[in-house]
Structure 1
Amino acid sequence: MRYLNVLSLVVVALVAAVLGWSINYAVSGQNQALLILPWGSLVAEGAAAAVLLYLGLRLRAYRDPEGEERRRRRAPADRKPYDPVWGVGTAAAAQAVAYYGALTAGWHAGLGVDQVMLLGVRTTQEPLWLCVAQIVAGVVLMVIGWIVENWCKLPPEDPDAERDTPYGGRQDPYTTGEGGYARHQ
């Protein structure tokens, strides 16, 4: 899995803006409905951001030494550690939310350009405000996705270990806890 890249998020937003403006321009001449997400979608986007933040904060608490100590003090001793599969899932969800935010912000920025051109003609400005709200929500989702993905990165176990060894920084290919089961005699 590749890490989020600011350039790729910007490219996705720009492509979505161009597509949003051009498709809206094509259908607006045919008296079709605007292609803006409704106000209710902001609730769903907020819920997705809240769930992602919750998962990211849980993962961060398990990853950081201070969070581990706090967790041990307040949690029962038999509580299982954070599952690595949840960490990968959280990282994937963070990337998905960030890309969705880029698409949403870009798409509605393209539609907003058309709405700004109609300021003098249109009596209601609700579509413009809806575009602005979706752009802000998209940027917030991108930032939350970026932050949570960074929380999902594990710190290196041993920063002083040699990186040129064939075992990725470890001197010995076998850990001490294997008991010799994986060793070839």
Structure 2
Amino acid sequence: MRPLRVTVLGLIGIALGLLGFAATQLSDRASSATPVLPYSALGSVAIIAVFTLALGIRVLRWRNEETRTRMIDPIFAARTLVLAHACAYAGAVLLGWHAGVVADQFPVWAARATSPVVLQAIAMMGGGIVMVAIGLLVERFCRIPPEDTDEGDGGGKGAPRTGDAEGGYA
């Protein structure tokens, strides 16, 4: 599995920001509600983020054990890594969409002291930032550092394969 790239997450955020901006423009023209997730969605974001972090900590504890008496289930580690990637991508989507909404609503927000729609969008942007951060962190937890070899030629059993210079995943 390829590591997450911050540039790809940024591009996703920018693309969804443009879509969020356009959707807000269209909903305003149609006199519809602004397309923002409610505050209750932050509960779901928090549950997903905490669950991802808890699974990542289990993998990190195994990785940092001095003497490994047991092997970690490779399916568990792979699922944790996939969950971390999904968390980061979902966070980029939430952050981008709601940043587009805030960008569209900013002139209205400046005219009114507090706009509940903008405050909801800012809260969801914060949730998106947390999800991206936890996704990137748990991905790092799942990374196994390359092992040192006793042989001078570097072709020993523990040497990383070509392309694994930074180590593989747990």
| TM-score above 0.5, yes or no | yes
1:155 aligns with 2:142: no
- Say which of 65, 68, 91 aligns to 1:101: 91
Identity of aligned residues (%): 31
Write out per-residue CA displacement over residues 118-165 of structure 1, whole angstroms, 9 at most, x where no aligned residue. 125557511111111111111111011000001101122335565568
- Matches of 1:29 and 1:89, distance apart in 2: 43
2:127 corresponding residue in structure 1: 137
Q: CA separation of 1:16/1:55 partners in 2, compared to 1, >3 Å: closer, same or farther?
A: same
1:51 corresponding residue in structure 2: 51
- Number of aligned pairs? 159
The alignment's TM-score, normalised by the length of structure 2, stands at 0.84
2:37 maps to amino acid: L
1:82 aligns with 2:82: no
1:38 aligns with 2:28: no
- Matches of 2:85 and 2:50, distance apart in 1: 15
Q: Classify the secondary structure of the residue corresponding to 2:109.
A: coil
What is the CA RMSD across the aligned residues, in angstroms?
Answer: 2.3
2:164 corresponding residue in structure 1: none
- Matches of 2:140 and 2:93, distance apart in 1: 21
The structural deviation recorded for 1:84 is 1.1
Q: CA separation of 1:120/1:55 partners in 2, compared to 1, >3 Å: closer, same or farther?
A: closer
The structural deviation recorded for 1:28 is 1.2
Partners of 2:146 and 2:159 within 8 A in 1: no
The structural deviation recorded for 1:5 is 0.7
1:179 corresponding residue in structure 2: none
Q: Classify the secondary structure of the residue corresponding to 1:119.
A: helix
The alignment's TM-score, normalised by the length of structure 1, stands at 0.77
Misfit runs of 4+, over 4 Å: 120-124, 159-165
- Matches of 1:119 and 1:94, distance apart in 2: 34
Higher-Rg structure is 1
The structural deviation recorded for 1:168 is 8.2
